[in-house]
Structure 1
Amino acid sequence: MKALVLISGGLDSTTCLALAVKEYGNENVVGLSIFYGQRHDKEIKAADAVCDYYKVEYITLDLSTMFQFSDCSLLKHSDEEIPEGAYELQLKETNGKPVSTYVPFRNGLFLSSAAAIALSKGCSKIYYGAHADDAAGNAYPDCSSDFNNAMNTAIYEGSGKQLQIEAPFIGLNKAGVVKMGLELNVPYELTWSCYEGHDKACGRCGTCIDRKKAFELNGTTDPIAYED
């Protein structure tokens, strides 16, 4: 059996890759990194480094034109500022809508694209790193259990029952993901999560705050450098 892993270069997807390699062996794992028009390429470079570390096949795909009409603050063409502060604070200002760093239906497009490539590569599983913290409060609705179940059904049926989604962290918070990753000796020093593209992670955006907190809850320090 083979597996394709959606690898962003961040903490969650890298832990997913480590799990897939443990399950299938690196020769049976393909890493897929998708450029969607984000402000910087640091996470793509991190994904490359992580796939090289695990010695898995690495594929990149450009879907940036799909998001050219969006003004999401994560996108290079957007004039919107990336918000600072924890997601729970950001959600207080959205009136139930996703946070401004939500890229429209990104995971749906990523998983659909991954399905086409996975079938071509003879894979039976697609791994991705959605977890409960991102889904909480509707911050990122395409990380929820309901979304995952619906996409899994669509991909399973649409592939002629050849392909399924594996979302191992869907019921875990980010601290739980880090706990699992530490047990697997994941090279978190190679990863990049920050929404900014500076030399060091900003430490102030929602994903930086969540990441630092996850390591602290595991009684350890994040190995990457932060401005704050």
Structure 2
Amino acid sequence: MAQKVVVIFSGGMDSFTVLNKTVRAGNEVYALSFDYGQRHRKELDYAARACADLNVPHKVVDISAINSLVGGSSLTSDIDVPEGHYEEQSMQSTVVPNRNMILLSLAVGYAVSLGAGEVHYGAHSGDHAIYPDCRPEFVEKMKDVCAIANYEPVDIVTPYLHDSKIAILADGLAMGLDYGKTWTCYNGREKACGKCGACQERLEAFALNNASDPLDYE
């Protein structure tokens, strides 16, 4: 009998790979996306199309009201998205306060209501320097909490926690995944900017995998 799993799915490269990996493992997958007021909400359109292609049930939840509490990020507030490599100090402006704790809490609640035993999300080692809620210490504490927060324990699964985006892309390419079905750019314009940290990290991953990015860039 297939196990029910909730996948937090942004529509980006990492969660797209996690989603496909989880589906291919034979699980009964439910994708959950969040509109938190991100300027690149275009990613949600990509998420919807990817789920339709996979015939995966997909919910998009509007939690944009939280921005009255957790503003100050260039992803949600009227602050320019910084350009340059992901490791630069300026990229800390893209941190949305407490985002993954909020998203995981909601996803775990959804999992309990479905009778799902796991929530998967795409934290990876490339995020550790900038995003505290993608670090192993955070994931381990959330696993502990989500095991006791309800009558039904829910496990937090991060298949790429110790892998780089380069390794994630390599795994996805080996699965034959089409990354033209994903959106990464922090700017939600018609084409990807190619200059923000997210775009630069994506382009670097393709270059180091000797592959061409199918997305169009400005």
**Runs of 4 or more off by more than 3 Å in structure 1?**
none
Contact kept? 2:124, 2:134, Cα under 8 Å:
yes
Which of 208, 211, 214 is 2:205 aligned to?
214
Which of 160, 168, 184 is 1:193 aligned to?
184
Is residue 100 from structure 1 mapped to residue 102 from structure 2 by the alignment?
no
Is residue 29 from structure 1 mapped to residue 29 from structure 2 by the alignment?
yes
Which of 12, 15, 23 is 2:14 aligned to?
12
- Normalising by structure 2, we get a TM-score of 0.95
Contact kept? 1:87, 1:99, Cα under 8 Å:
no
What's the secondary structure of 1:29's corresponding residue?
strand
Is residue 181 from structure 1 mapped to residue 177 from structure 2 by the alignment?
no
Per the TM alignment, residue 161 of structure 1 is displaced from its structure 2 partner at its CA by: 5.0
Per-residue CA deviation, residues 84-104 of structure 1 (Å, 9 max, x unaligned), is 001222x2x5xxxx7000000
Is residue 73 from structure 1 mapped to residue 74 from structure 2 by the alignment?
yes
Is residue 111 from structure 1 mapped to residue 96 from structure 2 by the alignment?
no
> Quick one: percent identity of the two aligned structures?
40
Alignment root-mean-square deviation, CA: 1.2
Question: Residue 85 of structure 1 corresponds to which residue in structure 2?
Answer: 84
What's the secondary structure of 2:93's corresponding residue?
coil
- Equivalents in 2 of 1:186, 1:105: separation in Å? 31
Work out the number of aligned pairs and report it.
215
Question: Residue 50 of structure 2 corresponds to which residue in structure 1?
Answer: 50
Contact kept? 2:112, 2:152, Cα under 8 Å:
no
Contact kept? 1:130, 1:144, Cα under 8 Å:
yes
Matches within 5 A, 1:90-169: 91=89, 99-136=92-129, 139-169=130-160
Per-residue CA deviation, residues 166-190 of structure 1 (Å, 9 max, x unaligned), is 1001000100000111111222111
What's the secondary structure of 1:87's corresponding residue?
coil
- Equivalents in 2 of 1:216, 1:40: separation in Å? 24
- Equivalents in 2 of 1:207, 1:201: separation in Å? 10
Contact kept? 2:40, 2:185, Cα under 8 Å:
no
What's the secondary structure of 1:159's corresponding residue?
coil
- Equivalents in 1 of 2:40, 2:137: separation in Å? 31
- Equivalents in 1 of 2:74, 2:165: separation in Å? 23
